[in-house]
Amino acid sequence: MSEHPIELGPLPQCWKRRHLLGLEDLTAEELTAVLDKADLFKQALVAGTRRVPLLSGITNCNLFFENSTRTRTSFSLAARRLGADSIDFSASTSSLSKGETVIDTAKNIEAMGADVMVVRHRTPGTPHLLAQNLDCCVINAGDGPHEHPTQGLLDILTIRQRRGTLQGLTVALVGDIAHSRTARSNIWGLKTLGAHVIVCGPSTLVSPRWKELDVEFSYSLDDILPRVDVLNLLRIQFERQHDRPFPSVREYAHLYAMNRDRLARAKDDILILAPGPINRGVEVTPDVADGPQSAILEQVTNGVAVRMAVLWLVTSVLRAAPVGS
C-alpha cells in the first residue's frame, strides 16, 4: 500500500461547516473549496496513492436506511484511504425493528465513539434532524427525494475536470426529476457555479413549477438536445412512485433514452453522465453508456475523491473546535 502525504494546504477560510447537509446554501467559494480539495485527492489516487493518513483516530459510521452500492462503498473507501476507521450500520439487522428511534440509534452509535455519521434515509430532513441532536459531523448521503450533496459534487467535479469550468455551460437533467435528490443537489450547485440548467422529462415527472428554481424546463429531449453541453441521465425511481408515470418503459425509452440516433444529433463533444445505478435500455442504451462521450465510471472514481475532501473538511472543523470544548 503506497502512502503519500499530499500538500492539501490549510482548511480554506470559507469552510466553517461541521456538517454537509445539502448544496442549496453552499456559496460558490465553498463549492470551489470542496472541488479543489477533491482534485488534489483525485491526483493522489490516480498516481497510485492508497493511503493519505490525515484522519487517523477518526471513526466514520455509514448509517444507511436505504440501499446503496456507490455512496456507501465510496464513503468507506474514502475514510479508509484517509486512515480513519469506518463501520457500516445495517438497518435491516438493527434494533430499529424493536422500536428504537433513528435519533436514539444514532445517539448510541455516537456514544460508541463515532466522529462522523454518513446518513441515508428515505425521509427528507433526517440528516438535518440528526445534525441538531448529535455532536459529531453529519453528512447527508441522500434524504428521500430532497438532496444528495456528494452526488451533486462528484457530478460537478466530473464536468469541471472535462470542461475546465461550469460557467456558461448548458446542463440538462433528464428523467425522473420529481423524485430525484440528485437533480436538486445538481441544480443548486450548478447554478451557483454559473451553469444554465434544463430539467427535462415526462409531464408527470417535471412541471413548470420547476421554473421557481430558476431553471428551464422541457418535455422534449429532442428539442433541447442540440444546445446541451452535458446530459445527466436520471433513473426512473419506481420505488418512490405510487402510480406509473407513463404508459410503458418502452414508450419512455422511445422519448427519453439517450441512444446512438440522438447522439448523432447532439453536440460532438456532449458529455454523458448518470448518477447510477443505470437501467440499460431505459434512460441510456449500452453503446452510449459505455461509449467515448460517457463519463459514468469516471463519476464513480471521482466519488471517492469528493468524499475524501468532504470528510477532511468537516472533521477539520470538528477537530479545530470540538463540541463542548
Helix H or strand E segment including 34: helix 28-46
68 binds ligand CP (CB under 6 A): yes
Nearer to ligand CP, 42 or 307 (CB): 307
CA distances from 301 to 16, 94, 150, 285, 290 (A): 27, 31, 13, 21, 15
Q: Build a one-symbol-per-residue string for 89-128: x at contacts with ligand CP by CB under 6 A, - elsewhere.
A: ----------------------------------------
| Residues 6+ positions from 257 with CB-CB distance below 8 Å | 281, 282, 283, 284, 285
Task: Enumerate residues 150-179 that contact ligand CP by CB under 6 A.
Answer: 151
Instruction: Give the count of residues interacting with ligand CP (CB under 6 A).
Output: 9
Residue from the set 71, 86, 294, 302 that interacts with ligand CP by CB under 6 A? 71
Q: Compute the distance between CA of residue 74 and CA of residue 302 in angstroms, rounded to an integer.
A: 9
> How far apart (Å, rounded) are the C-alpha atoms in residues 138 and 129?
10
Query: C-beta of 262: minimal distance to ligand CP in Å?
Result: 23
Pairing of strands 116-121, 59-64: parallel
275 binds ligand CP (CB under 6 A): yes
Q: Per CB under 6 A, does 70 bind ligand CP?
A: yes
Please answer whether residues 145 and 180 qualify as being in contact, where contact means their C-beta atoms are separated by less than 8 angstroms. yes
Query: In the set 276, 284, 294, 312, which binds ligand CP (CB under 6 A)?
Result: 276
With contacts defined by CB under 6 A, name the span among 62-70, 106-114, 199-207, 280-288 that binds ligand CP.
Answer: 62-70
Would you say 81 or 196 has its CB closer to ligand CP? 81
Name the segment binding ligand CP (CB under 6 A); options: 44-52, 258-266, 274-282, 316-324: 274-282
Q: Output the DSSP codes for 267-324.
A: -TT-EEE--S---BTTTB-HHHHTSTTB-HHHHHHHHHHHHHHHHHHHHHHHHHS-TT
Residues that bind ligand CP in the complex, under the rule CB under 6 A: 68-71, 142, 151, 275-277
